[in-house]
Amino acid sequence: MGGRESRPASEPAPAEPIPPTPVKIKLGDFAIDEYRPIKVIVIGAGFSGILAGIRFPQKIPNVDLTIYEKSAGFGGTWYNNRYPGVACDIPAHCYQFSFEDKRDWSSFYAPGHEIQQHLQDVVDKYKVMRYIKLRHEMVHARYDEATCKWHVRIRRPKAGCETEFEEFEDVADVFLTAFGALSRWKWPDIPGREDFKGEVYHTAQFDPEGGSWEQVAGGWKDKKVGVIGSGSSAIQTVAAVHPKVSKLVTYVRGQTWIAVPFAGETFSELLGRNTVPQDGELVFTPEEIERFKTDPEHFKRFRRTMESLVNSMHSYTVRGSQLSADLQDEFRKKMKTQLAQKPWIAERLIPTFPVSCRRLTPGPGYLEALCADNTDFVTSPIKRFTASGIETEDGQQQDLDIILCATGYDVSWQLPFDIIGRNGVALNEKWKPYPTSYLGMCVDEFPNMFTVLGPNSLIGAGVLIPIIEAAVDYVVQATAKMQRERLKSIEVKVDAVRDFDQYIESYFPQTVFSDKCRSWYKLGKDEGRIVGLWPGSNLHALRALQHPRWEDYDYSRADDVSNRLYWLGDGQTHNERTSTGDRAWYLGEEFVDRPPVPEE
Ligand SMILES: Cc1cc2nc3c(=O)[nH]c(=O)nc-3n(C[C@H](O)[C@H](O)[C@H](O)COP(=O)(O)OP(=O)(O)OC[C@H]3O[C@@H](n4cnc5c(N)ncnc54)[C@H](O)[C@@H]3O)c2cc1C
Ligand SMILES: NC(=O)c1ccc[n+]([C@@H]2O[C@H](COP(=O)([O-])OP(=O)(O)OC[C@H]3O[C@@H](n4cnc5c(N)ncnc54)[C@H](OP(=O)(O)O)[C@@H]3O)[C@@H](O)[C@H]2O)c1
């Protein structure tokens, strides 16, 4: 027979385990979901800030949200940039939030004002204006270690007086900077700008004053216009301006790739066109727009197919790959063909660096504009602005009526305001010689502060808006955690920042971004640390941000208790404690996670 052997009667009975002395705590006198009020300050009302204005009220109960925007309007990039030709550089159907489906884009690369109008519609629809304060500029922010709150100083015009300003301080539990990576525009470092007697604009500051750039440029037919630069802004400006002016002089010191039309065959196939579109055929016909509007499945198919294709560009960014080489050959061929009338331009303009080393722009109409009879292509470096135009190093003086500086942004990540973290550390000091972060989202010694599209969070290829959505969602999750678990502070660990740093250093050498070319990806330099881009594809970024690693953070508790589960409260939920509300809320359709029924 099996079974246990019985203990001989002579053996003493084993001692009963001594129960541990129970340690009791004072339970919190609150329900587990009795969420404390939480104040969130957001800086900037572009795509990122507007989304914060949708997601925080949606997902954080008891949130007190303020979005400060220094401009007189929201929209960020799309409010500020109204220069001739400003347009989207990816298919516009993909340049919107995942939960929106604007269908009446006029063109594949929609003009900037349509994107701005769309953001206006989004702000109206979700009533985000309740949270936005325009003409409110953040000038200083400081973390107070005693209270674990951010003290944010804001400058605004005095009531009834546009030219005098006052400052006040607002205080927040969570501080979200969404002030843009490409929002601090800068004049070129060319002497003599004040001497020029004509009109001079930076593209990001060009203001058609309530009208459109087309209306303003409509009065330029007798004008000689200079455009400085060959980045994305210049490429669009040159293409838009040259048919409107008597003479165009474009000053190009660097090189740039101009992309072949994107996904032309798929575009035609989806729209039922017979031919692959050339640059000028990217405008949708009224019938095509009507079909998008009336046939949601057609719209979805178009958007999803295009978005998937844009998101398939990552493989071209692998340095030395066959794909990268093939792309270069294709682009070179197209550029040479389109510049056949002026082959010397091809020699100067076609890059020695790979495609995508700097931001690629589709540039419809740019090469045609360079070949036009009324365009001069000047490569001699600019010496100075003069009273009547621009003088170049080769001694040539060109008289101009209007100069458009498409000369880019301050991309140094040295911010024009102080952000002071724990231990009095200034962010600008911490970010010398280059900015570091954890997943582009936060920095050690700056608790309760997060960033959307901070350093190392934009992308060189692929759709950007999903990254903005993932980043905002990340901050919302962190805020929810603080609120739920009654945390006073959350701060990323220094070694987590170090580990991301090592990832960045190891990832980029294998990409075309590390080749020699001047770009905002590298602090505006032609070599060195990549600070602009996420180290990976955009889809990779989405996966990385989807599930925060909370173990990479340190926390402090709002209550002076040692038990980490104090936030469990009194064992009830708010609805039970107050005998109110729905006590079967989890059956609400929004909470039920219906599993698919497996097929046979
Ligand atoms: C001309 C241009 C064209 C672009 N085109 C494309 C494109 O086609 N496709 C694409 O994917 N990306 C494009 N980009 C990148 C574009 O910036 C992002 O797609 C996106 O619009 C960024 O949104 P954001 O809200 O993060 O930043 P932004 O749009 O830059 O908004 C930041 C906001 O913060 C405000 N702000 C800054 N400092 C302060 C302060 N101290 N206090 C208060 N407010 C402040 C600014 O005024 C601005 O409104 C373009 C960028 C530029 C400059
Ligand atoms: N939707 C779009 O298509 C679109 C439009 C605009 C901007 N953007 C985004 O914004 C980013 C910035 O674009 P951007 O064109 O505004 O800026 P940018 O890419 O930095 O280009 C600035 C241009 O100005 C030139 N430049 C600067 N100082 C100069 C000087 N002193 N003399 C002569 N030339 C000078 C630069 O020359 P070098 O070439 O020698 O550097 C460069 O060609 C883009 O990369 C893109 O991500 C997108």
Q: Is the pLDDT of residue 5 over 60?
A: no
Instruction: List the structure tokens of 287.
Output: 């019938």
Q: Mutation test of ligand 2: which of 109, 190, 359 has the most ligand atoms closer than 8 Å to its C-beta?
A: 359
Closest ligand, as measured to the CA of 384: 2
Query: Residue ranges of the alpha helices (H) in 311-405?
Result: 322-338, 343-349, 366-371
Distance CA 465, CA 99 (A): 11
Q: What is the edge-to-edge ordering of all strands in the sheet holding 449-451?
A: 132-133, 63-68, 38-43, 174-177, 449-451
Q: Which pLDDT score is estimated for 232?
A: 96
Query: Residue 426's beta-bridge partner residues?
Result: 420
For ligand 1, the distance from its centroid to the CA atom of residue 181, given in whole angstroms, is 7
- Nearest-CA residue for ligand 2 atom 16 is 408
Taking CB atoms and a 6 Å cutoff, what residues make up the pocket around ligand 2?
87-89, 182, 188-190, 228-234, 236, 251, 253-254, 359, 361, 382, 406-409, 518, 520
The closest-lying atom of ligand 1 relative to the alpha carbon of residue 409 is 53
Mean pLDDT of 543-557: 97
DSSP string covering 16-30 = PPPPPPP---PPPSS
pLDDT of 145 > 60? The answer is yes
How far is Cα 45 from Cα 80, in angstroms, rounded to an integer?
Answer: 11
> Residue 247: is its pLDDT beyond 80?
yes
Most distant CA pair in the chain: distance in Å?
118
Between helix 112-125 and helix 47-59 the angle, nearest 10°, is 20
Cβ(483)–Cβ(35) under 8 Å? yes
**3/389: higher pLDDT:** 389
- Cα gap 225→329, rounded to integer Å: 33
Contact present, 238 and 263 (Cβ < 8 Å): no
Quote the pLDDT of residue 362.
86
Is the predicted pLDDT of residue 3 greater than 60, yes or no? Answer: no
Q: Which ligand is nearest to the CA of 307?
A: 1
- What is the spatial order of strands in the sheet that 161-172 belongs to? 161-172, 149-158, 137-144, 418-420
Atom of ligand 2 nearest to the CA of 232: 15
Rounded CA gap, 224 and 61, in Å? 57
Kindly tell me the sign of the dihedral angle through the C-alpha atoms of 446, 450, 454, 455. Answer: positive
Q: How far is CA 431 from CA 130, 270, 436, 471, 528, in A?
A: 34, 47, 6, 21, 15
Cα–Cα distance, 251 to 398 (Å, whole number) = 11
Residue 523: which region, alpha, beta or left (left: phi > 0; alpha: psi -120 to 50)?
Answer: left
Average pLDDT, stretch 393-417?
A: 97
pLDDT value for 8: 64
Q: For 258, list phi and psi in degrees, rounded to 5.
A: -115, 125
- In terms of DSSP H, where are the helices of 485-563? 494-507, 538-546
Q: Whose CA is closest to atom 39 on ligand 2? A: 254
Substitution candidate for ligand 2 out of 384, 407, 459, 526 with most atoms within 8 A of CB: 407
pTM over 0.85: yes
194 pLDDT higher than 90: yes
Q: What is the mean predicted confidence (pLDDT) over 369-393?
A: 97
The rounded Å distance from CA 591 to ligand 1 centre is 34
Q: Other CB atoms closer than 10 Å to residue 507's CB: what's the count?
A: 18
Q: What is the pLDDT of residue 207?
A: 92
Contact 449, 443 (CB under 8 A): yes
7 has a pLDDT exceeding 70: no
Nearest ligand to the CA of 253 is 2
DSSP H or E stretch at residue 238: helix 232-241
Cβ within 8 Å of residue 478, ≥6 positions away: 174, 450, 490, 548
Alpha carbons 68 and 48: distance in angstroms, whole number: 12
At 467 the pLDDT is: 98
Spacing, Cα 581 to ligand 2 middle (Å): 56
Tokens of 109: 């690369």
Identify the weakest region by mean pLDDT among 12-16, 122-126, 152-156, 238-242: 12-16
Task: Quick: pLDDT tens for 288-314.
Answer: 999 999 999 999 999 999 999 999 999
User: Does the pLDDT of residue 139 top 60, yes or no?
Assistant: yes
In testing the pocket of ligand 1, which one of 68, 81, 119, 183 has its CB within 8 Å of the most ligand atoms? Answer: 183
CA-based nearest residue to 459, from 528, 360, 363, 364: 360
* Distance in Å, CA 394 to ligand 1 centroid: 37
For residues 66 and 345, what is the distance between their CA atoms, to the nearest angstrom?
50
Beta strands in 129-177 (DSSP E): 132-133, 137-144, 149-158, 161-172, 174-177
Overall average pLDDT of the 32-37 stretch = 95
Whether 440 and 448 have beta carbons less than 8 Å apart is answered as: no
Q: Which atom of ligand 1 is nearest to 77's Cα?
A: 29
Q: Is the alpha carbon torsion for 482, 483, 486, 488 positive or negative?
A: positive
CA distance 67 to 51: 11
Q: Are strands 397-399 and 389-392 parallel, antiparallel or unpaired?
A: antiparallel
Residue 264 has what pLDDT? 86
3-state secondary structure of 104: coil
Ligand 2 atom index nearest CA of 255: 39
Find the range with the poorest average confidence among 88-92, 137-141, 259-263, 277-281.
277-281
Residue 13: what pLDDT?
A: 76
Q: Is the pLDDT of residue 351 over 70?
A: yes
Give the number of the atom of ligand 2 that is nearest the alpha carbon of residue 182.
Answer: 10
pLDDT above 90 covers a percentage of the chain that reads 90
- What is d(CA 260, CA 300) in angstroms, rounded to the nearest whole number? 25
3-state secondary structure of 597: coil
pLDDT for the residue numbered 6: 57
Q: Which residues pair with 392 in a beta bridge?
A: 382
Weakest mean pLDDT among 5-19, 31-45, 504-518: 5-19
Query: Is the pLDDT confidence value at 1 over 80?
Result: no
Task: Decide: 309 and 215 in contact? Cβ < 8 Å.
Answer: no
Beta strands in 506-552 (DSSP E): none
Looking at the predicted structure, is the pLDDT value of residue 196 above 90?
A: yes
Domains of the chain: 38-183+412-557 (3.50.50.60), 193-260+314-405 (3.50.50.60), 264-310 (no CATH)
d(CA 408, ligand 1 centre) in Å = 13
Q: Which long-range contacts (CB under 8 A, 24 or more apart) does 532-535 make?
A: 532/181, 532/411, 532/455, 532/456, 532/458, 533/456, 533/457, 533/458, 533/459, 533/460, 533/508, 534/440, 534/456, 534/457, 534/458, 534/459, 534/467, 535/456, 535/503, 535/504, 535/507, 535/508
Cα-trace Rg, the chain? 29
Whether the predicted pLDDT of 261 surpasses 90: no
Please choose from 233, 279, 412 the residue to mutate so as to test ligand 2's pocket, defined by most ligand atoms within 8 A of CB. Answer: 233
Q: What separation in Å is there between the alpha carbon of 228 and the centre of ligand 2?
A: 9
Q: CA 180 → CA 183, 397, 454, 554, 567, distances in Å? A: 5, 37, 7, 27, 36
> What is the reported pLDDT for 2?
41
- pLDDT tens-digit series, residues 209-235: 888 999 999 999 999 999 999 999 999
- What's the mean per-residue pLDDT of the chain? 95
- Look at ligand 1, atom 11, and give the residue with the nearest C-alpha: 464
Q: For 414-464, where are the alpha helices, taking DSSP H only? A: 427-430
Q: Give the single-character DSSP code of 153.
A: E
Is the backbone peptide bond immediately before 433 cis, with ω within 30 degrees of 0?
Answer: yes
